[in-house]
Structure 1
Amino acid sequence: MIVTKTTGLKRFYLATRYSLKGLRAAYRQEPAFRYETWAAVVMLPAAVWLAETGLQLGLLISALLLVLIMELLNTAIEAIVDRAGTEFNTLAGLAKDLGSAAVLFALIITVLIWGGIGYDNLS
């Protein structure tokens, strides 16, 4: 049996639908993703106010998006681990802890970028 893959605009449309489906699922099921999403929504106008250059604005917004990306990846890791089984497994726990650490580092990067740009522009 030959399976043909969707290409072109239809593939782009389907990929976009799958992405939006994933975002909706993360928002509905993950409190941390909801909190971080709302923090980003509140901080976007602050980024426009704080930034003095396009590069600074890009960095401020990118830092916010980095946190959301890491949270999505962490959620994906947790879903896969939870699907694999409910019994305790050292490697499963490690995978979840590493995903959480990635989110923590993204948050630290965000604080450093926002703090650095804020320090430069407000002093």
Structure 2
Amino acid sequence: MAASGHTGFKRIVKAAGYSWHGLCSTFRHESAFRQELAVSAVLVPLALWLGDDAASRALMIGSVFLVLIVELLNSAVEAAIDRFGGERHQLSARAKDMGSAAVLVSILNAAVIWLLLLI
């Protein structure tokens, strides 16, 4: 039995609800996520139009989704660190910087994939 007491289909429904709540919370509180989502709304249809085959479309769309995934994780790290208070700590700053760097690397990854597939 799951720790929450929910199993099977009920657990899946509950997990989907928590995921939806996380997406809504990130959208509400994180401007970077809103900006990346807006860019994604343009890039995903563009990938469907510009991609030569299913594999290139999947790579282009997957790279866009990866940026959103990494931004969600970065936002989670920042929220957890901010939960512990406002004092500045070297390890907290390092963790936030690393999360930000992960977002940057995911954006660079998407840019490289798009350039390689479109050139």
TM range (shorter): over 0.9
**Structure 1 position 15, deviation (Å):** 0.4
Aligned residues: 117
**Structure 1 position 85, deviation (Å):** 1.5
Structure 2 residue 7 is matched with structure 1 residue 11:
no
Q: Percent identity?
A: 42
1:21-60 map, 5 Å:
21-60=21-60
Question: Segments of 4+ in structure 1 off by > 4 A?
Answer: none
**Structure 1 position 48, deviation (Å):** 0.7
Per-residue Cα deviation, 1:23-47 (whole angstroms, up to 9, x for no partner) = 0000111000000001001111110
**Structure 1 position 5, deviation (Å):** 2.2
Taking the aligned partners of 2:57 and 2:35, their CA distance within structure 1 comes to: 22
Taking the aligned partners of 1:83 and 1:101, their CA distance within structure 2 comes to: 21
**Counterpart in 2 of 1:116?**
116
5+ long unaligned stretches in structure 2: none
- The letter of the residue matching 1:69 is I
Q: CA 1:28 to 1:73, structure 2 compared with 1: closer, same or farther past 3 Å? A: same
5+ long unaligned stretches in structure 1: none
1:69-84 map, 5 Å:
69-84=69-84
Superposition RMSD in Å? 1.0
- Helix, strand or coil at the partner of 2:91: helix
Structure 2 residue 89 is matched with structure 1 residue 89:
yes
**Counterpart in 2 of 1:65?**
65
- The letter of the residue matching 2:98 is L
**Counterpart in 2 of 1:102?**
102
Per-residue Cα deviation, 1:57-106 (whole angstroms, up to 9, x for no partner) = 11011000000001000000000110012111000000000000000000
TM-score (norm 1): 0.92
